[in-house]
Amino acid sequence: MVDKDRELTEEEKEQIEATRRRVMLANRINERMGAIKHKIIIASGKGGVGKSSFAVNLAKVLAAHKRKVGFLDGDIHGPSADKFFGIKEPQLSGEAESINPQVTEDGIRVMSMAFLLGEADSAVIWRGPLKMQMIDSLLGDVNWGELDYLVIDTPPGTGDEILSLAQRIKNLDGIVMITTPQSAAVASAVKTISFAKSMKTLLIGVVENMGPFRCPDCGREIKLFGAGGGEQAAKSYGVPFLGSIPFDELMEGDSEAGLAVVVEHPHAPSAVQINRIAEKIMGLVER
């Protein structure tokens, strides 16, 4: 028999309060995400495939198409939104449970762990539970407002961050997988495709980055990293292939400078292809 009249211990009170906070945060997440029409995760099996660069350029194209866009940097250990958006001194405002994201000149609402670190070279040394709590906070404590799209950049692989995002976001439109033609990148991408299927999360499609490009001097097609790996992986798993972005020095240079090639060099081969892929994504998720 439980004594209903006895006083609760401090430990019991703390447990009740912790449960109350978790429920309130879960409700805020549902409310925030419910105000966003389309939520897309950008993922990759391994690092160095240009995933974050593509995610930023995709957000820029969506904004250029008059969509209201948010960008969530879901990489807790290696956030990069500050670099890719060229945000050197973020101006955040609000309170603990109501943070206003950074807004770019073209109206994109950006939030990243990088904005919360005191120093640019500060390391985040957290285990899974703390990372999942931060993901919950980025989803539920940020004033995303009413958006057409939330583009979510994630760290490579199938770790805590992408797992938390896939579990927490109701009505997630799906995952866009980024790979390069290299066999190692494709093999890693296949694991992430399997992860998405096991989570019963829709794979919007596969994008192959750093694909063959045409030499401006001789006109010969050059395959620095091979060709066709991304498309073959997509076909093998019955996933739409969204296109191949050619290797482009302009895209690499713009990314390093905190710029987007679709804005700075809209006629570059990479920018043209990113625009085509973005239009395919819009067509698939808005259909």
Tokens in use for 168?
């927490």
Instruction: Show the DSSP H helices in 7-159 as ranges.
Output: 10-34, 51-64, 81-84, 128-140
Residue found by looking up tokens 């805590």 in the block: 160
Which residues, 6 or more positions from 167, have their beta carbon under 8 angstroms from its beta carbon? 199
Q: How far apart, in Å, are the Cα atoms of 2 and each of 60, 73, 117, 135, 174? A: 59, 47, 46, 37, 47
Chain-centre distance of CA 114, in angstroms? 14
Q: What pLDDT sits at residue 83?
A: 93
> Class assignment of domain 41-286?
alpha beta
pLDDT value at residue 123: 66
Tokens of 116: 């919360």
Separation between Cα atoms, residue 1 and residue 208, nearest integer Å: 63
Do residues 37 and 166 lie in contact, with contact meaning Cβ atoms separated by under 8 Å?
no
Give the whole-angstrom CA distance, residue 68 versus residue 45: 28
Cβ atoms 113, 185 nearer than 8 A:
no
Residue 234 has which token pair?
């997509």
Enumerate the domain spans of the chain: 41-286
pLDDT tens string for the chain (287 positions)? Answer: 456 677 888 888 888 877 888 888 899 999 999 999 999 999 999 998 999 999 999 999 999 999 999 999 999 988 999 999 999 888 888 877 789 999 999 999 999 999 987 665 666 777 778 888 999 999 999 999 999 999 999 999 988 899 999 999 989 999 999 999 988 888 888 888 888 888 899 999 999 999 888 877 787 888 877 677 889 889 888 999 999 999 998 998 999 899 999 999 999 999 999 999 999 999 999 98
Amino acid 95: pLDDT: 79
Give me the residue label for tokens 């990088």. Answer: 114
Among candidates 8, 25, 7, 27, which has minimal Cα distance to 16? 8
Report d(CA 261, CA 284) in Å as an integer: 23
Q: What is the DSSP string of 235-286?
A: HHTT--EEEEEEP-HHHHHHHHTT--HHHH-TTSHHHHHHHHHHHHHHHHHH
pLDDT (0 to 100) of residue 130 = 87
Q: How far apart are CA 73 and CA 52, in angstroms?
A: 9
**Residue bearing tokens 């750093």:** 210
